[in-house]
Structure formats: C-alpha cells, structure tokens
Chain A
C-alpha cells in the first residue's frame, strides 16, 4: 500500500531495502557534516533542508558541501523523511512554526501551503538577482505561480512517464524495440497498442491473448500492469491515454475553476482502458490493488509492461533477473504522444528566521553548479535545460534509454499536473469514483456526477 500511496500523489519510492541503505549513507554523511560544524566557528547560520527521496540525498549532500565551501557563513543540514510522513510532518512543523527553512515541494501540495501563506514568494528576489527563468525546461517555472501571481519556489527537476517493458517477454512475443517505439492507440479498437497487449498476455496454458482458446480468467502474464485506479490523476495509469485523446484535466492551469472529469473524451478513454481488464490483458482492479507492488510484479514476470515514471527508471533497471526496456507512451487519436509532465521545486518556509541565506541556498540548488551534480547521479532530470541533457547522457551511460521521457519535452507533449489548493479533497471524491468505474461497479459516465461534486468543491471558495 505504501507504494500505491506514492503513485496516487504522483511520485514513487524505490524498494525499501535500498532506500534504507541510502538513508543510512545519508545519516553517516550528516554525522560527518555535524562534527565539521562543531569544529568550525559557531557563527554560521544553520539552514534545515527537507527532502523525501533518500536516493537523491547523496547528490544534494554534494551540493550542500560545495555550497558551504563557497558560503562559509552558512551550514546546510539535510533531513530526509519518507513520502508517507513528509507532508504530515511538514504541516505539523508549520503549525509549531519550526518548519525547515527550505523544503522540496510537490505541485499537488504547494497550492495548499501557498494559500495559507506558508511559502515565501520569491518573485522580487528573482528580479533583484536577475535570474534567467528561461533557462529552465518550458512550463516548469509556471508550475509554481500562486493564484496571486507570486512565485513560490524555483524549479528543481522534472519527470514524465514511459512504457517499461520486459525485454525477454517482448522478444518471445516476436516483437522488437522498434515495434515498441512505434505504437499507437485509439478508443475504438485499441490500435497497435492493444494488439501488443493481447500478444504479450499469456494464460496458464501458454495461450496468448490474440490466439484462439485464450482463457482470460486464468492469466499467467498480464500484458500490462497497474497499481490502482489513479483517482483523479491517473499519472501512471490512464492519463497518457486520456491526454492523447484530446482530454485535459481542467479549464485552465494552474488554479483551475472547473475540472473536466465529466468530459466525454475521458469517459471514452476510461471505457476503453477498462475493456482491457474485461479482455484479460490487464488484471482486475481487485487483483491490481491487492498486489505488493507493480515493480515487484514486473520483477517476478507477472506483468510484461508497465507505465511508470522516470523517477523509477533506475529502480526498474536494477531489478534482478529481468531486463527492462523503455519506450515512449503510444501515439493517440490527437496524432501525438502524451504524458503527465511533473516537476518539483525548492520552496522557502515563510517563517524562516534566515530568508536571505535560504534564498542563497535555493538559488544555488537551481543553478547549473548543483543541477549538474544532480544530473551526474542519473536519478532524476534537473529542471535546467542544459543539466537535463547531461542527465540524459548519464542515464544512457548506465543503459537507460532516457529519450522515452525527453521526447515529451522536445515535442511539447507533456501536460502539467493540475495545481490547486483543494487537491486532497478532489482526490477524496475521485479516488472512489474511479475505483468504482474500474471495478465495474459504475459506468464511465458516472464520472460526470463526480465532476459535479469536484466543481462544487471549487465553487465553495
């Protein structure tokens, strides 16, 4: 369930074992850092920096060390909390007025904190320092614009989703990497993508989904896995299909006034998506949510293909016993591919006693010096265009085809997640609504009623 929660809000954690190892490594690094601090003079301003991804701590620790060398008056303490506790902890610390001076922020969370004035607006400081916002990948800066037009963070990294597939299973089905990169889908007959899923699905008797005698009730390998219904976001489930079917989340972004869950294009997409469950190419929702995790199921060969985020590319490539290839999401009825294009930022807590030092640190995090260090770690794609390219090269070096994600930036086919301060309430409506549809307890057109409730929430303001 923990992984499911991650996906629900858009980010996934790596396998716990390695996360723990990284956290231990970070702890050691911090311990070393601490002793250095006592040795140095005590006039240094100590800034606390929070992040949730343990795997990224070593890269940012390097940034902190470099920053401290250039800024002898500042000390950076990196603290890492797992995603599950991160936001609750952060809220509690804001209430206690002792929140971290700088913290990693998520597009779906920032609206809430910005509307409660918990994040510092940095637009004046950006102007003062003459920071060039055009050097970031397109759209990433706008993700952090408040309803009042202020800028509530500097972009840190970006991600997109792709098709992760089991290379052996694809080869056994008689398909090549070229086939995987050249897929299209449509809501009528599913196109070459659905034919691929049929081919990849194998029942307990070894009969493929596109062969006569296929038993859809006794499937050994599902063509595609998924972890849950995706609620109102569907980032690693249905969003790539809906977005390439001409749908988009809301009337405008950021700060939508109406969501589009009642749009027939979404109902059509979801209707097709769940028809794949009926055909046996995808597991039933009960089975999908009952599993320990999609990545583990990929590792055990139960799923042939998975839509996953770039942030899990490294974890997937390190799965034991399976070789994973990555292809871009299929082309849809719009004639283009689509993916949620999400990003993180570094935000400054409005109650920090050291806003100037915090700004220097945030500016450094958003600079080529730090983002290149992060790029070399080949974990995420930094927000700076130049650093992004370095990360793509670093990914290629360890055998991960990062172009599958980068294509969305090049072609402009990424869609930013909806930014609103009511996201938690919207999910509270959309999660059960989408669960009902994908478990066949309700029809796709029931999303219209859910959409009305969501718009009712927004109208409350």
Chain B
C-alpha cells in the first residue's frame, strides 16, 4: 500500500509547500513515538526469544552440557541425528499424534461450534464447552490416568459392566498414543470450537436464507457455504493447533513417560530427556533446531494450502 501511493505524494506535497516541513516533522514524531511504544515488546522479544534462539542454534554446534564450557563440534550433532533411530521414531510418533489429535479435534470442534451456534443462545451452555480448557494440562492428564487405570479405573469398571475386557490404556503400545491424543482432544475441543464459533458468527444469515430458497440441503449448505466462508478462520485455527499439537509434552510426561517401548516418546520428551536427564544440551539443541525448521515448513505449507490470507466472504 505504502509503495503504491508514494508516486502521488510528491505532487501533493509540492502543491502545499508550507505544510511540508510540518508533515515530515510529524512523520518523524510518529516514528519516535512508535519506537517508544515498541521498545518494551522488543526488549521482551530480544531477551526471551531472539537471544535464546540464537544461543540454542549456537549450542547445536557444540557439545554443551551446562556444567562444562561448550566446545565447538561443527555439524557433528546433526550427523548423529541422522543415524539416531530414537530421533526418527520420535518424529514418527509425534506425527502420528498430531494426525490423530488434529483430525479428530477439528471435526469435533466444527460440530461443537455448529451446535453452539444453532442449538443455544445461553452463555452458560456456550461457556461450559470451554470448561475442560480451564483445567491445567497436568491435572487433566492425572485425572484421566486414574480414570483409565487398568485395575481400579472407572472406565474399565464400566467396560466390565458391558462385558468388555479391561484395557491397559497406557500400558498397551497400540493404545497408549491414541489415548493421550484423545485426552487432549477432550481438553482442547471447547477452546477450538469457540474460535470456530466466532468465525461462524461472521457469516451472514442472508447467505443461508438464499440457499434455503434455492432448496439446498443442510449438508449442501455446510459444504458450499459454511466451510468455504469459515476457511480463513479454520486456517488460522489449524496453524495454531497443529503447531501446538507438535509440542505435546506434559500429558506424556505425567502418564507414560515415553513408554511402553518408546510408543509415546514424542520429540519434545526426547529433547527434554537428552537435555535435562542426560545433560546433552548440544545434541538436544540440534534436535530443537530441526524441529523448528520442520514446524516452520509445516506452518508455511498450511498457510499456502488454505490460502489463509484470502477470504471468500464477499
């Protein structure tokens, strides 16, 4: 915008020379004021994000162990990463988690958002959908851990009542990861639904009226009106939830701790273990840098594919 309008500016300013100085002075004043307002956020950004990120990138090229000075080892950590079966396993496990978590969570959240919009106007009912999100991650994980316990968990007791054998939800390698993914769906679906609900509110009711007059079915309206018009919001929600989903850590840490047999050893848990249990901060940093690159690519691809910066809302 600024570039497009600049050729016109000289003519205007020339025609009113008297105000030129004042305007330019005002521009500099704006910049100065803007800088003053930007300083606190910039300091926070530099101190808490930029410096740690640059330090992390530097540590990834060293054998840093926190208790001894770091020594430069070049790309050794990255080479080691290529032949580390645990790293590749962790990436696979994380991708599987993101897939299960995001697909189910998005479908459930869209359905919940539609229900919130159509079935009720009650703030109370709409607010209740958010309740699980208000409980801390670790508490949610522990409560489910007790409820899904093999011997005394209420879920297995109920399963027993309907004749289903008890399930080792956290002990069975095939069940452990989906179980954790579903626990987090439960916690996050309300919040995600709320974001989508806000998106639904922006769609004009007239569009639906017109579609009804044309005889479109509810499903057809959903497919041809709701989804396309919701897309920018959905795209944003997906980028945020997918990035968040990749960062799964706490639920795993307080339930399975990465087991059984690495079935839930997600990438963040592996990085944490390497850094804080094995004091191998150099290698853990290299892994974090790779994860950063992966997340960056995933987010860019998502934004591109969902055309998040464009809207169909005419």
Residues of A within 8 A of B (CB): 1-2, 4-5, 87-88, 91, 94-95, 112-113, 116, 118, 228, 284-292, 296-297, 300, 302, 424-425, 428, 431-432, 435-436, 439, 441
Contacts and interface: CB of A to CB of B under 8 A. Distances in A.
Given A1-B256, A297-B151, A432 B279 contact: no
A290 B262 contact: no
Contact of A116 (B68, B86, B169): B68
Contacts of B280: 425
B171 interface: yes
Contacts of A2: 254
Interface in B86-101: 86
Nearest to A435: B261
B193 to A, nearest CB: 30
B163 to A, nearest CB: 13
Interface string B168-195: 1111110000000000000000000000
A424 B277 CA distance: 6
Leading 10 A-B pairs by shortest Cβ distance: A290-B171, A286-B171, A286-B168, A290-B168, A116-B67, A290-B150, A289-B171, A435-B261, A424-B278, A286-B172
A424 B283 CA distance: 15
16 contacts: A2-B254, A91-B66, A113-B67, A116-B67, A116-B68, A228-B259, A287-B151, A288-B171, A290-B148, A291-B151, A292-B151, A297-B151, A300-B152, A424-B277, A435-B259, A435-B260
B259 A287 contact: no
A118 B260 contact: no
A365 to B, nearest CB: 25
A289 B67 contact: no
Contacts of B149: 290-292
A329 B135 CA distance: 45
A289 B261 CA distance: 11
A300 B153 CA distance: 13
A289 B151 contact: no
A428 B272 CA distance: 12
Interface string B264-289: 00000000010011111000000000
B146 A289 contact: no
B65 interface: yes
Interface of B: 65-68, 86, 145-146, 148-152, 168-173, 254-257, 259-262, 273, 276-280
Contacts of B145: 1, 292
Nearest to B148: A290
Contact of B150 (A5, A112, A287): A287
B182 to A, nearest CB: 16
Contacts of A88: 276
Contacts of B262: 432
Contacts of A112: 279
B171 A287 contact: yes
Nearest to A222: B151
Nearest to B150: A290
Nearest to B170: A290
Contacts of A425: 278, 280
Contacts of A118: 67
Given A286-B168, A290-B169, A302-B151, A441 B146 contact: no
A425 B279 CA distance: 10
A290, A296, A431, A435, most chain B CB atoms within 10 A: A290
A112 B277 CA distance: 10
B108 to A, nearest CB: 26
Nearest to B67: A116
Contacts of B277: 87, 424, 428
Given A1-B145, A289-B170, A292-B152, A436 B261 contact: yes
A426 to B, nearest CB: 10
Given A300-B151, A435-B260, 16 more contacts: A2-B254, A91-B66, A116-B65, A286-B150, A286-B168, A286-B173, A289-B171, A290-B168, A290-B172, A292-B149, A292-B151, A296-B152, A300-B152, A435-B261, A441-B173, A441-B261
Q: Which of B65, B68, B145, B278 has the most CB of A within 10 A?
A: B278
A128 B262 CA distance: 50
Contacts of A435: 259-261
Contacts of B171: 284-290
Contacts of A94: 66-67
Contacts of A431: 259
A428 B278 contact: yes
A118 B150 CA distance: 43
Which of the listed residues A5, A91, A441 has the most CB atoms from chain B within 10 Å of its own CB?
Answer: A91
A286 B260 contact: yes
A91 B65 CA distance: 11
B262 to A, nearest CB: 5
A5 B253 CA distance: 11
A91 B170 contact: no
Contacts of A286: 150, 168, 171-173, 260
A95 B67 CA distance: 6
A330 to B, nearest CB: 26
A284 B166 CA distance: 13
A439 B151 CA distance: 18
Contacts of B146: 292
B268 to A, nearest CB: 15
With a 10 A CB-CB cut-off, give which of B68, B149, B152, B277 has the most chain A CB atoms: B277
A289 B68 contact: no
Contact of B279 (A5, A91, A289): A91
A91 B151 contact: no
Contacts of B65: 116
A94 B67 CA distance: 7
A284 B280 CA distance: 34
Contact of A432 (B68, B255, B261): B261
A253 B169 CA distance: 39
A118 B67 CA distance: 8
Contacts of B168: 284, 286-287, 289-290
A428 B172 CA distance: 20
A87 B280 CA distance: 15
A94 B259 CA distance: 30
A221 B256 CA distance: 24
B170 to A, nearest CB: 5
Nearest to A116: B67
A13 to B, nearest CB: 15
A296 B146 CA distance: 12
B260 A285 contact: yes
A8 to B, nearest CB: 9
Contacts of A91: 66-67, 276, 279
A1 B273 CA distance: 16
Nearest to A425: B278
A4 B276 contact: no
